[in-house]
């Protein structure tokens, strides 16, 4: 059974893999036997991720750049290097916006930018992956619990993630005939630098941890383990599913900073 969790000599792409959850996913796939193409905007971060992949005895391909309108190039370079593509993880997401707004006060340009980063880029990644997975493969989209409920002060992000959950479910049905499985994973509060930045107040971390039934914040490895399951033969009968990995917590128990804080 343990062998079913291996992806020996498969080839994976992980976007947004310069640090945090994306890096943990890339390393988990390498631990399980995959060669990994990694993408982010900062070359230095990617070099650290690549060093971890190579220390696990696997090959890394660094493709630095903004993933928006770049997915087909990333797929082509991956296939050119490794000769195949088996796994694609759309991990890019978040916000370039430093202030938060109610939806009624959100500028149109901000709303469009959030859709482009959190939904359109994943759509493009899924298309690129599907073109290069003619007979089987696995796509995993990193979404958010914000896409399943009202999300004050982060409405554009939540709307984009809600769209990504539906996109996942639709693609799973459309790609099933060619054997490509498509799932999504929503991390709960995972202690990364990005999470610290958006939460804004360090002393809120204990408050957040107390709101989680299992009593602790998540780690990037908690999310990576679920992604590995979905990409491996162990997840061969799972597709079109949304998986919330949050220690039992289903509602947000903290508030992001407002623009007046």
At 117, phi and psi to the nearest 5? -75, -45
Q: What is the pLDDT of residue 193?
A: 75
Closest Cα partner for 68 from 23, 115, 106? 115
Q: pTM for this one?
A: 0.94
Q: Is the pLDDT of residue 259 over 70?
A: no
- Among 159-168, 172-181, 199-208, name the one with the lowest average pLDDT: 199-208
Residue of 130, 157, 227, 252 marked active site: 157
Q: What is the pLDDT of residue 158?
A: 95
3 state DSSP class of 31: helix
31 contacts 2 by C-beta, under 8 angstroms:
no
At 183, phi and psi to the nearest 5? -135, 165
Q: Is the pLDDT of residue 23 over 50?
A: yes
At 88, phi and psi to the nearest 5? -135, 125
Task: Dihedral sign for Cα 192, 195, 201, 203, please.
Answer: negative
Q: How many residues does the chain have?
A: 261
Quick one: three-class SS letters along 36-89? EEEECCCHHHHHHHHHHHHHCCCCEEECCCCCCCCHHHHHHHHHHHHCCCCEEE
pLDDT in tens, 99-120: 788 999 999 999 999 999 999 9
For residue 245, what is the enclosing H or E element? Answer: strand 242-245
Q: Is the pLDDT of residue 253 over 70?
A: no
- Among 13-17, 182-186, 196-200, name the one with the lowest average pLDDT: 196-200
Q: Is the pLDDT of residue 142 over 90?
A: yes
**Residues above pLDDT 90, as percent of the chain:** 80
254 is catalytic: no
* Exposure class string for 155-188: b at 16+ Cβ within 10 A, else e: bbbbbbbbbbbebbbebbeebeeeebbbbbbbbb
Domain boundaries, the chain: 2-245
CATH architecture of the domain formed by 2-245? 3-Layer(aba) Sandwich (3.40)
3 state DSSP class of 23: helix
pLDDT in tens, 41-58: 999 999 999 999 999 999
pLDDT in tens, 207-230: 888 889 999 999 999 999 999 999
Q: What is the pLDDT of residue 140?
A: 98
Assigned token pair, 73: 């190039």
pLDDT in tens, 116-141: 999 999 999 999 999 999 889 999 99
Q: HSE-up of 185 (CA within 13 Å, CB side)?
A: 27
Q: What is the pLDDT of residue 261?
A: 40
- Residue 107 DSSP one-character state: -
Mean pLDDT in the chain? Answer: 92
At 26, phi and psi to the nearest 5? -60, -45
All residues at 6 or more sequence positions from 152 whose CB lies less than 8 Å from its CB, including other chains? 102, 255
Q: What is the pLDDT of residue 203?
A: 64
Residue with the bigger pLDDT between 177 and 98: it is 177
Q: What is the pLDDT of residue 106?
A: 95
Q: Is the pLDDT of residue 198 over 80?
A: no
Q: Is the pLDDT of residue 71 over 80?
A: yes
């Amino acid at each position: 059974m343990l062998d079913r969790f291996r992806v020996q000599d498969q080839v994976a792409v992980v976007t947004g893999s310069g640090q945090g959850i994306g890096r943990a996913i890339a390393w988990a796939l390498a631990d399980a036997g995959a060669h990994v193409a990694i993408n982010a905007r900062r070359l230095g971060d990617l070099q650290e991720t690549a060093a971890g992949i190579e220390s696990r005895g696997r090959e890394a391909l660094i493709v630095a750049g903004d993933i928006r309108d770049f997915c087909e190039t990333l797929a082509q370079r991956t296939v050119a290097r490794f000769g195949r593509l088996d796994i694609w993880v759309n991990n890019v997401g978040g916000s370039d916006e430093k202030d938060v707004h109610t939806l009624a006060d959100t500028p149109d340009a901000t709303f469009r930018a959030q859709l482009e980063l959190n939904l359109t880029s994943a759509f493009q990644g899924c298309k690129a992956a599907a073109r290069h997975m003619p007979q089987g493969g696995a796509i995993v989209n990193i979404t958010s619990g914000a896409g399943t409920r009202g999300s004050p002060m982060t409405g554009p992000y939540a709307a984009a993630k809600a769209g990504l959950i539906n996109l996942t479910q639709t693609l799973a049905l459309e790609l099933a005939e060619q054997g490509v499985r498509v799932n999504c994973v929503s991390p709960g509060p995972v202690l990364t630098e990005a999470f610290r930045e958006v939460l804004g107040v360090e002393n809120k971390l204990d408050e957040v941890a107390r709101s989680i039934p299992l009593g602790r914040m998540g780690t990037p490895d908690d999310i990576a383990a679920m992604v590995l399951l979905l990409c491996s033969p162990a997840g061969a009968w799972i597709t079109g599913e949304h998986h919330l990995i949050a220690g039992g917590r289903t509602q947000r128990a903290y508030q992001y900073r407002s623009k007046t804080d």
